[in-house]
C-alpha cells in the first residue's frame, strides 16, 4: 500500500525551462491536504529545498544533494551521508587541470553543500569521469550540473534511510523522476514511475511511463495511482 510520494523536481514537476508546473503544485498540495506525505528530492542544496518545501506547501521533508542530505520535517535535523572531503580532493584536481586549459569551473553553491560538490556543465562529463577514474568519487551528470559524490550515496540509499526515520518501508513510496540520478530511487521505492521526457535508462526501470511530459506527466502519474493513494488515506483514518 502506498503511503507517501517521493518526487524529483527539475524535469519532473517543472517544464523544459525549469519553471514549476502550477498544476503539479496544486496536485502536491491536494495530496498533503489529504494526509499523503510528499517528499521532494533534488541535487540542489538543503537551503533551497527548505524554501521550496515552504513555497510548494509540503511538511518539509526532503532529499537534497542527490541523496547526500535528507531531513524529516521542517524542524528535523539534517542527516548527512557520504564524505565531502573526498569530493574536495577530486575537485581540486579538476580545477588545476582546467585552469591550465584556461577554463574556470563554475561552482554551484559550494558554501551551502555538505555532502557533494557541483559545477556547471561547461566541460564534458565523460572527460571529468576519465580524469577522476582513480578517485573514489561518483560523477553524476544530471543534465543541469555535474556533481561529485561519495560512492554508495544516491537518492535510493537516502530513501532507505529516510523511510526508516519515518517508520515506513521504501515499498510504501511511489517515486517519480526523469533523470539517470533518479534510477536508484525508482528501483528502491515500491513503485517507480517516470514522465515522458525521462531518460531512456530511467524509462527502462520504471513501472509506469507517463504519456505526458514534465509536470503534466507527474499529474498523470498521480491520477494513475489515485486509487492506491485513496486506500492509504482510508487506512490512516481508521
Q: Which residues are annotated as catalytic?
A: 8
3-state secondary structure of 212: coil
Alpha helices by DSSP H, listed for 57-205, are: 84-100, 125-131, 155-165, 183-188, 200-205
Return d(Cα 152, Cα 95) in angstroms, integer. Answer: 24
Put residue 211 in one of left, alpha, beta given phi > 0 → left and psi -120 to 50 → alpha: alpha
3-state secondary structure of 175: strand
How far from 165 is each of 12, 72, 77, CA to CA, in Å?
A: 25, 8, 11
Q: Which residue is associated with the grid cell 523544459?
A: 16
Amino acid at each position: 500500500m502506498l503511503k507517501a510520494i517521493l518526487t524529483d523536481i527539475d524535469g519532473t514537476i517543472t517544464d523544459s525551462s525549469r519553471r514549476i508546473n502550477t498544476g503539479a503544485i496544486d496536485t502536491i498540495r491536494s495530496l498533503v491536504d489529504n494526509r499523503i506525505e510528499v517528499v521532494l528530492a533534488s541535487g540542489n542544496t538543503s537551503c533551497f529545498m527548505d524554501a521550496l518545501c515552504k513555497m510548494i506547501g509540503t511538511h518539509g521533508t526532503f532529499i537534497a544533494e542527490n541523496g547526500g542530505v535528507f531531513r524529516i520535517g521542517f524542524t528535523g535535523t539534517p542527516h548527512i551521508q557520504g564524505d565531502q572531503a573526498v569530493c574536495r580532493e577530486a575537485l581540486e584536481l579538476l580545477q588545476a587541470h582546467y585552469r591550465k586549459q584556461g577554463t574556470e569551473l563554475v561552482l554551484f553553491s559550494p558554501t551551502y553543500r555538505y555532502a557533494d560538490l557541483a559545477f556547471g556543465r561547461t566541460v564534458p562529463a565523460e572527460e571529468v569521469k576519465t580524469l577522476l577514474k582513480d578517485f573514489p568519487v561518483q560523477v553524476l551528470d544530471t543534465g543541469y550540473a555535474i556533481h561529485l559524490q561519495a560512492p554508495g550515496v544516491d537518492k535510493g540509499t537516502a530513501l532507505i534511510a529516510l523511510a526508516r526515520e519515518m517508520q515506513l518501508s521504501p515499498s510504501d513510496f511511489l517515486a517519480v523522476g526523469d533523470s539517470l540520478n533518479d534510477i536508484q530511487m525508482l528501483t528502491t521505492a515500491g513503485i517507480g514511475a517516470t514522465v515522458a521526457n525521462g531518460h531512456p535508462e530511467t524509462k527502462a526501470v520504471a513501472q509506469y511511463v507517463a504519456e505526458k511530459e514534465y509536470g503534466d506527466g507527474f499529474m498523470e502519474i498521480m491520477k494513475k495511482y489515485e486509487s492506491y493513494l485513496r486506500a492509504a488515506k482510508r487506512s490512516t483514518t481508521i
